Amino acid sequence: MSFTTLSLLYLALLGLPLWLSWDPLAPYFAAVFLLALGVSIATKKAPPHANALDKIILCGPVFIAMPMAVFGIDHYLDPIGVGRIIPAWIPAHAFWVYLVGTCLILGGLSIVVQKNAGLSAGLFGVMLLCFEILMHVPSVVAAPLNHLRWALALRDLSFSCGALAFAATHPQDWWTRGAHRLISPARMVIGIVLTFFAAEYLLHPAFLPGVPGGELTPNLVPGHSVWGYLTGLVYLVAGICLLINKAARLAATWSGLFVLLAAILFCVPFLVQQGFDVGSGLNVPVDNLLFSGALLCLAGSQRDTPAMRT
């Protein structure tokens, strides 16, 4: 890493207490800074033979890391709101809010600068699995017919699997034996998630393309239903390919690229429509970018991926 990059990162860390007080500007500054820094580092380290798709796959971890840091900042900006999500039987909500927020910020920075990135991604994946057990499973059990609760639970599960798939390609960072065994379960789980999301979009084509969270496609985007049905078809084909393990790398790569484009073409207009609100606006494109990163990290974990051989 260059001296200039280290200097910028050091200055950003020194100014963390100050720019956290810029609510709601801090998450936007962090998002742009970390995304630009991470993509720059990832593409510069691409091997000479890497093509455009290989470079996009190498950016997958960055698409996970930037949302991690943004979510971590949210823990500092709205500790009371985040604390309400924690189950009531867990004590010391404020402690856990700030601890998790700090871990997310540091973990995201670790992946961006590619220092112990596998360890950070692995811990992030394990953390999300804990969230599944502590929060999402009870939520789904309480209302099993609520399809949005299922979508939320499967969304975070896919994030976990993408992070673990990336971590499995860096076993020297965190788990030296058997890490490769995480890749096949991750592929299967993400295949199931894509298939479920496909059904969501085919049944509810007005949903905002990307992650079906109940948000509707902005009014300024024409052809709402067309984009919803297209999203459903893309997810269905990719999900089936992952489940049967046929052209899995291509399926994960192109579905990840599709979600990335959806984040740009649909989620940014949604953010504008929401008046750049951090809670109801920024989290939507960030969630979609994280989903894209999970898919691209899965693609990078496949054996026939040139980017994995670096």
pLDDT digits (tens, 9 = 90+) for 79-91: 898 899 888 888 9
What pLDDT is recorded for position 274? Answer: 74
Q: What is the pLDDT averaged over residues 188-205?
A: 96
What pLDDT is recorded for position 223? Answer: 81
The rounded percent of the chain whose pLDDT value lies above 90 is: 61
Query: Which structure tokens are listed for 259?
Result: 């979600």
Query: Distances in Å between the alpha carbon of 179 and those of 173, 189, 295?
Result: 11, 17, 18
What pLDDT is recorded for position 305? Answer: 41
What pLDDT is recorded for position 224? Answer: 77
Range of the domain at 226: 3-309
CA–CA separation, 68 and 108 (whole Å): 5
For the chain, the three-class secondary structure string (H helix, E strand, C coil) is: CCHHHHHHHHHHHHCHHHHHHHCCHHHHHHHHHHHHHHHHHHHHCCCCCCCHHHHHHHCHHHHHHHHHHHHHHHHHHCHHHHHCCCCCCCCCHHHHHHHHHHHHHHHHHHHHCCCCHHHHHHHHHHHHHHHHHHHHHHHHHHCCCCHHHHHHHHHHHHHHHHHHHHHHCCHHHHCCCCHHHHHHHHHHHHHHHHHHHHHHHHHCCCECCCCCCCCECCCCCCCHHHHHHHHHHHHHHHHHHHHHCCCHHHHHHHHHHHHHHHHHHHHHHHHHHCCCCHHHHHHHHHHHHHHHHHHHHHHHCCCCCHHHHC
- Residue whose C-alpha is closest to residue 38's, from 7, 71, 5: 5
What pLDDT is recorded for position 309? Answer: 38
What pLDDT is recorded for position 308? Answer: 39
pLDDT value at 45 more than 60:
yes
What pLDDT is recorded for position 9? Answer: 53
Q: Into how many domains does the chain fold? A: 1
Q: Which residue has the tokens 């509707």?
A: 216
pLDDT value at 12 more than 90:
no
Higher pLDDT, 270 or 205: 205
Q: Considering the entire predicted model, what is its pTM? A: 0.88
CA–CA separation, 120 and 163 (whole Å): 9
The rounded percent of the chain whose pLDDT value lies above 70 is: 85
Contact 62, 42 (CB under 8 A): yes
Query: Which structure tokens are listed for 84?
Result: 């309400």
